[in-house]
């Protein structure tokens, strides 16, 4: 029969073994982490993306797959916390972005695209009469509070 002390020892040994295998399997991510920490607090843009001993460094994504800089492929079940509903590099989205870049962007004045998007939003959500586009959630909240 396992005693609590024995069970804890088994768990500690298993965790040490898992960390060793993780570190050995991801040398480039391990090497990259201190470099990221030089310019990003905690080595990333969001605290929840850190885990010990170091987070993986993702190199690219396609569809529902992600690849790290060590060459491992992962299924992405997170979907950028639901913001990435169409996966990574969806062909229709890539084509739309390329077309937008070819047409020009950041015009600095009223344009056809923002008007069309506002129309689509108002059509889709009947209770929405008008739309104000903002640069950030903070700006949107400030405008909403002063409305």
Q: For residue range 43-98, list pLDDT tens digits in order.
A: 888 877 788 899 999 999 999 999 999 999 999 988 877 777 888 988 999 999 99
Please check whether residue 74 is in contact with residue 68, taking contact to mean a CB–CB distance below 8 angstroms.
yes
Per-residue pLDDT at 4: 65
Euclidean distance between the first and the last CA atom of the chain, given in angstroms as a whole number: 67
Q: Which residues pair with 65 in a beta bridge?
A: 62, 75
């Amino acid at each position: 029969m396992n005693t609590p002390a024995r069970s804890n020892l088994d768990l500690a040994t298993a965790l040490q073994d898992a960390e060793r295998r993780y570190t050995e399997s991801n040398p480039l991510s391990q090497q990259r982490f201190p470099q990221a920490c030089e310019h990003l607090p905690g080595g990333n843009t969001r605290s929840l993306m850190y885990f010990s001993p170091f987070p993986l460094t993702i190199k690219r994504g396609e569809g529902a797959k992600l690849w790290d800089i060590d060459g491992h492929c992962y299924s992405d079940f997170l979907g950028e916390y639901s913001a990435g509903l169409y996966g990574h590099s969806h062909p229709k989205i890539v084509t739309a972005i390329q077309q937008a870049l070819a047409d020009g962007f950041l015009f600095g004045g009223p344009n056809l695209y923002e008007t069309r998007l506002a129309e689509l939003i108002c059509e889709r959500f009947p209770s929405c009469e008008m739309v104000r586009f903002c640069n950030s959630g903070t700006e949107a909240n400030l405008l909403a509070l002063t409305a």
